[in-house]
């Protein structure tokens, strides 16, 4: 992390876990043990039906609530979909876009790009995910692949808005597998993502954009991962479902940096 130039963000991704009642219970437990004083930005991205309960419970806190997906269209005949203005109206601050589990359901880079643009337009913070498969890593094309995902995902994002995007590097082979990238592996890719942003935009924007690591981050490995200079936080699945574990990760993000 480098707190001097950019925000540290610890974001939870609940995926398809917890009901609205369980959300209320979780948020009350979390509120009771949240660290006091100044700390990093904290987001919890929850299933759509849990958003109202989460927003209500965390109203007086600095925890921002987010969605796990959105539709890029403003309104219309898209049964089952949720537009970005519905999310902001419901109290969301963040939205995860392009998670590998959604890409596996058919979401393309063009879809990701349209959603990023729609989220920015609505005033949401898009948490744009990228990541390589194990086959791609073994074929030594990780950097190339990620660079392409970043370029396509950010297409058309103007210079003055790019730093509002949070990028999450999530190697697919590390998500939900218990197999974490080593701090060096994660740093190498996050550093290369920053270089892509530098090339596409400017050194100033590259220095200001927050890049998270995700993939089996937990209360045990968070400190070491977050100590890397280009890892500005985490996108956390499993460990964000347990208040004590999530708080320990927030505490790891409070470590002093350069």
- Judged by the rule CB under 6 A, the positions of this chain that interact with ligand PEP are 13, 15, 170, 175-176, 214-217, 235-238
Which position's Cβ is nearest ligand PEP?
Answer: 237
Q: Per the residue annotation, which of 68, 101, 132, 170 is the catalytic one?
A: 170
Tell me the torsion sign for CA atoms 112, 113, 115, 120.
positive
First-last CA distance in the chain:
8
Query: Which CB sits closer to ligand PEP, 96 or 206?
Result: 96
Name the residue nearer to ligand PEP (CB basis): 211 or 236: 236
Token pair belonging to 240: 């964000």
Closer to ligand PEP by Cβ: residue 206 or 212: 212
Catalytic residue among 99, 101, 187, 219: 99
Minimum distance from residue 44 beta carbon to ligand PEP (Å): 12
**Cβ atoms 116, 157 nearer than 8 A:** yes
Smallest separation (angstroms) from ligand PEP to the CB of 4: 26
Name the minimum Å distance from CB 239 to ligand PEP.
6
CA dist., res. 6 & res. 144, Å (int): 25
- Which CB sits closer to ligand PEP, 126 or 237? 237
Smallest gap from residue 217 Cβ to ligand PEP (A): 6
Q: Is 170 a catalytic residue?
A: yes
Please check whether residue 142 is in contact with residue 112, taking contact to mean a CB–CB distance below 8 angstroms: no
Q: How far apart are CA 258 and CA 50, in angstroms?
A: 38
Nearest-approach distance from CB 86 to ligand PEP, in angstroms:
23
Distance, CA of 247 to CA of 167 (rounded, Å)? 22
Q: Which is nearer to ligand PEP, 13 or 23 (CB)?
A: 13
Q: How far apart are CA 239 and CA 218, in angstroms?
A: 6
For residue 79, the SS3 value is coil
CA dihedral 144, 239, 62, 190 (to 10 degrees): -20
Contacts of 233 (CB under 8 A, 6+ apart): 1, 7, 8, 9, 10, 11, 40, 41, 166, 210, 212, 213, 226, 253
Which residues does the annotation mark as catalytic? 99, 170
């Amino acid at each position: 992390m480098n707190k001097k130039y950019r925000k540290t963000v610890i974001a939870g991704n609940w995926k398809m876990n917890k009901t609205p009642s369980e959300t209320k219970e979780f948020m009350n437990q979390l509120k009771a043990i949240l660290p006091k004083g100044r700390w990093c930005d904290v987001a919890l991205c929850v299933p759509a039906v849990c958003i109202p309960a989460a927003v209500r419970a965390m109203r007086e806190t600095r925890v921002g609530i987010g969605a796990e997906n959105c539709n890029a269209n403003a309104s219309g005949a898209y049964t089952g979909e949720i537009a970005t203005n519905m999310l902001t109206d419901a109290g969301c601050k963040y939205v995860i876009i392009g998670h590998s589990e959604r890409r596996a359901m058919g979401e393309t880079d063009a879809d990701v790009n349209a959603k990023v643009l729609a989220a920015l337009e609505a005033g949401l913070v898009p948490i744009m995910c990228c990541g390589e498969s194990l086959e791609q890593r073994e074929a030594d094309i990780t950097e190339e692949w990620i660079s392409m995902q970043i370029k396509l995902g950010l297409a058309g994002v103007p210079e003055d808005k790019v730093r509002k995007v949070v990028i999450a590097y999530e190697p697919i082979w590390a998500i939900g597998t218990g197999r974490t990238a080593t701090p060096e592996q994660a740093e190498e890719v996050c550093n290369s993502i920053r270089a892509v942003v530098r090339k596409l935009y400017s050194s100033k924007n590259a220095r200001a954009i927050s890049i998270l690591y995700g993939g089996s981050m937990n209360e045990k490995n968070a400190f070491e991962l977050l100590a890397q200079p280009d890892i500005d936080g985490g996108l956390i699945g499993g460990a964000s479902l347990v208040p004590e574990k999530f708080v320990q990760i927030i505490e790891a993000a409070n470590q002093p940096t350069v």
